[in-house]
Structure 1
Amino acid sequence: MRLLVTGGLGFIGSAVVRRLIGQGHQVLTLDLATYAASPEALGTALKHPSHIWLRGDITDFEAVAEAFRQADPDAVMHLAAESHVDRSIDGPTAFVETNVTGTLVMLQTALAHWRALPEGRKDAFRFHHVSTDEVFGALEPGDPAFNEATRYDPRSPYAATKAASDHLVRAWQHTYGLPTYITNTTNNYGPWQFPEKLIPLVALNALDGRPLPVYGKGDNIRDWIHVEDHAEALCLCLERAQPGGTYGLGARQERTNLQVVYAICAVLDRLRPDPAGPRARLITHVADRPGHDFRYAMDPAAAEAAIGWRARYSFEEGLEQTLGWYLANEAWWGPIRAGRYAGKRLGAAA
């Protein structure tokens, strides 16, 4: 297939592109290469003859039109987004521009492309919008996990912009017939995740002997999915997802934030002991962030049946693999911490 992937230099997007290239597809990555982009995360896919990286902004109609001209895609995988909740609280405008306006531009350009395709390719074309479980709001202990029928109730500027983009995608399906589908997923983790996110932030602070910031009591709950499990599901959706469908992707690996932080400390203490003592001593409880949702979790049962997929990594296995990767790859994260990320506000635990 010929594929156009937005956000392919990001954490999840790069895992998707690596997998697609490995499967023999032709991929054009459209990515502006903002602060969290990592071309090196593509590995050999970056300069593979079947891959093109076009630097461009998804809010720019001309840049997006050029990406469609070069890619002539059979499908679009739209992953480009601003995604850090703390940043959305501090600066929501960028989230509206990228997540809402950018999705509008992608949909309009995809619609024109789709309408011009010959019948066989037109029938097979898909627009895959990658979203989050945060659009559904928050759960209390004992509540059933979110599913594809859960009503929308976004609580943060980030979640609100992703909810808006989901609604646009469905509107283009119902109004114009553009064959779209949506995937909503839980917290991702794994290699190449930018150091402002919970697991790499805590791990790298722990290695440096810095405080490990935890919001409030640390009892907020998230369901964690390894990025490679998520990427596998997204690629299977290309073959098996149906237009108009919604697919909830999760791993049934719920943990409180404090449990995650203690688990990180335990693994690092074993893999690289600290002469000063167990790293749990560094845990620091800080003031909670505004509007902090208590619990997210996604019931993946319907998606598992529809696309023939199930997450493979347990949280313990995935965390050990992830932290081992960070220990072995300071050449990547070290300059980020010391250079282009210096002075950026380090968010506390999610």
Structure 2
Amino acid sequence: MENILVTGGAGFIGGNFVQYMTANYPDYHIYNLDLLTYAGDLTKHQAIEKDVNYSFVHIDIADRQAVEALFKKVDFTYIVHFAAESHVDRSIAEPEIFIRTNVLGTQVLLEAAKRANIKKFVHVSTDEVYGELDFDPTTFFTEETPLQPSSPYSASKASSDLLVRAYYETYGLPVNITRCSNNYGPYHFPEKLIPLTISRVLNDQKVPVYGDGKNVRDWLHVQDHCSAIDLVMHSGEIGEVYNIGGHNEQKNLDVVKTIIHALGKSEDLIEFVEDRRGHDKRYAIDPTKIERLGWRPVYDFETGIAQTVEWFLENNEWWEQIISGEYQQYFDRQYARK
């Protein structure tokens, strides 16, 4: 049985990947490593927590001794590294946390992997490392686009990308870097645009929209992302970067309106708020390179958003317990009128 280490497997994308892998690869043993910070949640794994091919490991990736101890116990074949602080707004308020987890934590994992006999270290990054595009619909991020991050979050991810590349160039560590567009789908933490909008609309609360709402994002269903990472892990050329995008560009305001209409509510719930500092205009990915490996997204945005809204309707207990307490305090701070 091959051992797969998935870091950040209690989070949104990593959690969906854990479930994807346990379902599709019963002969792999999936080790879910997570610190369980505010966005970490293990209830999503209740159905698999007793499976013989699944184990949870409660570790901080920046804790060198703990990571090294784990690698002494288990021989990992693949490492898929999701674990990261990921919310831009929080990075603006507390950038040092992002540097510790996203940069130092990645280096700790790389050093442990360097000493192990692994087949592949897959580093899951983001299109935000490229900075912003203008609104010209013919321009896209490619794997050759220079890194020009705009926020402390994207800067920390760009830094970790460069570390991964350095461990490949210097030590010959077998790596791939994937850079995805905005994900959405089940178990999406409700501080992000789509789940935030769904939860607010269902509670007949105002939905904050930054600036004029015309910022454009390329939306990728999380299950399509999982299948792409699976392909890169098994078939990606060592040392290469692969962009993963859904070709589903939407203005933020249009996304909010789509959700409002799907739930039969009024656009009066929209509340424009002061724009975020350093807010990138547009992200859009050219996924040609990974498509050459044989990957294609299954979900278009219309199908994917309908499925996501339905999931949140059917799993209200999961997100309702999240949006109370500390989360509500964060929301009030973040969107306070100025």
Q: TM-score, normalised by structure 1?
A: 0.92
Partner of 1:8: 9
Alignment of 1:159 with 2:160, yes or no, is no
Q: Distance in 1 between matches of 2:308 and 2:72?
A: 37
Q: Which of 26, 51, 56 is the aligned partner of 1:53?
A: 56
Identity of aligned residues (%): 45
1:8–1:16 CA contact under 8 A, matched in 2: yes
Partner of 1:331: 317
Partner of 1:181: 176
Number of aligned residue pairs: give it: 330
1:6–1:13 CA contact under 8 A, matched in 2: yes
Partner of 2:272: 285
Long gaps (5+) in structure 2: none
Q: Which of 24, 30, 46 is the aligned partner of 2:33?
A: 30
Q: 68-77 or 85-94, which moves further after superposition?
A: 68-77
4+ long deviations beyond 6 Å? none
Partner of 1:76: 79
Matches within 5 A, 1:98-247: 98-114=101-117, 125-142=119-136, 143-247=138-242
Amino acid at match of 1:210: Q
2:262–2:306 CA contact under 8 A, matched in 1: yes
Alignment of 1:296 with 2:283, yes or no, is yes
Q: Which of 73, 84, 89 is the aligned partner of 1:86?
A: 89
Q: CA deviation at 1:43?
A: 4.0
Q: Distance in 2 between matches of 1:67 and 1:155?
A: 35
Amino acid at match of 1:295: R
Q: Which of 43, 51, 58 is the aligned partner of 1:40?
A: 43
Amino acid at match of 1:285: F
Q: Distance in 1 between matches of 2:74 and 2:204?
A: 47
- Pairwise CA RMSD: 1.2
Amino acid at match of 2:197: V
Q: Deviations over 1:41-93 (max 9, x none)?
A: 22422221111101010000111113323331101001000000000000000
Amino acid at match of 1:311: P
Q: Distance in 1 between matches of 2:20 and 2:196?
A: 26
Long gaps (5+) in structure 1: 115-121, 270-277
Partner of 1:274: none
Q: TM-score, normalised by structure 2?
A: 0.95
Amino acid at match of 2:292: A
2:133–2:283 CA contact under 8 A, matched in 1: yes
Look up the SS of the partner of 1:4 in the other structure. Answer: strand
